[in-house]
Chain A
């Protein structure tokens, strides 16, 4: 039987952690979608130097541990005078890291759109960016919804990295409650439940969206 008194007594802490995990996830999601889309287009655009930048970003970032990237924002940049609180540093690290994976997902989606779409758009006089924005990306989005859902779920789980740098997220408060009460198992079960509260609806939502788009095609 789980010790629910722990949950009730530390409700405020759990709630604060939950709110911050949610906030970090949403901010990182928006940020990484934006950076990821830009990097994906960089990798594909017919401009060599941009291809290099895009490729370098993805290959560099996704091949180092997330925690290292977070440390860059938490201790690296402060060393040269750019300071963040731990929540911000963690969220930035998470954004930069996730963007590399999202870039790959979006790139695959763009490449899956038939070549004739870009040709039709360009031959009507649209610029490359207009063609991307009005024609290619809307179609790519449909294609990438399932893999993108996985990335979002990973993002929520990876936000636990904030706990390591005292980022006031669920994991951080879990550790705190556990060290105060000397209870481990039950404390972390409740933490896990709060994560599931975020990830399961996300997973269901992506599934529903996928089915709806499949029907509309």
Chain B
């Protein structure tokens, strides 16, 4: 589904992603962890070409992401993205936030788009907020709307970049619950997070990054019990003991 082969990325002189090899199969949930600045966001954002790679090969859903002939908008239909700061459209209601892309990108009629939106709002547990504006919602509710917005496009892949990092502790759980349900239903997910409980529970694989490299890649049981990399061990002890 997602295939990185010898991918490198530079910001000018700065080498952000170094020789990335990573394969993610359909239905897999992959959690990416690592210290700040290690390139986690950059890696995830390459998948839907919010960032472009400098060299190597990146194939998503059978399409070469950086090929000249790739219709990126078409590829992006199949890839939902959830951001740390939600990025809901403040001038649109919750319902409008969710129906916009299905209507404008897929050409779904308004009535059907609204029904789909309501279906996903039910799913994330806030159908009563359909006509509210994002600013009237708590962080956790906004993030659930953002997830519903992504799902309404019926994507094959969902990308999450620290979806709970900007949330109050008491609302983190409600977002993680939605993500766990998604994972159980077989969505292909790439998740950057510091929520180790979530990683342990639903990840098929943990990818540990440091300084632009993937240092370790292992199932959670193995990774948490016995990380083979010294730096991963250090990172874990820091994150689990605070």
Contacts and interface: CB of A to CB of B under 8 A. Distances in A.
Contacts, number: 61
Interface in B68-127: 73-74, 76-77, 79-81, 83, 85, 87-91, 100-101, 104-106
A126 B104 contact: yes
A119 B50 contact: yes
A114 B104 CA distance: 22
A116 B87 contact: yes
B135 interface: yes
A125 B91 contact: no
Contacts of A114: 87
Contacts of B73: 125-127
Interface string A114-128: 101101111111110
Contact of B105 (A126, A138, A142, A217): A126
A127 to B, nearest CB: 6
B91 A122 contact: no
B105 A124 contact: yes
Interface residues of B, number: 26
A20 interface: no
Question: Secondary structure of the A side of the interface?
Answer: helix
A104 B77 CA distance: 33
B153 A124 contact: yes
A85 to B, nearest CB: 42
Interface in A120-170: 120-127, 130, 134-135, 138-139, 142
Nearest to A117: B87
A126 B87 contact: no
A123 B85 contact: no
Given A125-B153, A134-B104, A120 B81 contact: yes
B50 A123 contact: yes
Nearest to B76: A125
A120 B89 contact: yes
Nearest to B90: A139
B77 to A, nearest CB: 4
Contacts of A120: 81, 83, 87-89, 146
B91 A139 contact: yes
Interface in B143-160: 146, 149-150, 153
Contacts of A139: 89-91
B149 A124 contact: yes
Contacts of A126: 73, 100-101, 104-105
Give the one of B80, B100, B149 with max A CB within 10 A. Answer: B100
B50 A122 contact: yes
A59 B219 CA distance: 58
Interface of A: 114, 116-117, 119-127, 130, 134-135, 138-139, 142, 217
Given A120-B146, A125-B76, A126-B105, 12 more contacts: A119-B50, A119-B81, A120-B89, A123-B50, A123-B76, A124-B100, A124-B153, A125-B74, A130-B105, A134-B104, A139-B91, A217-B90
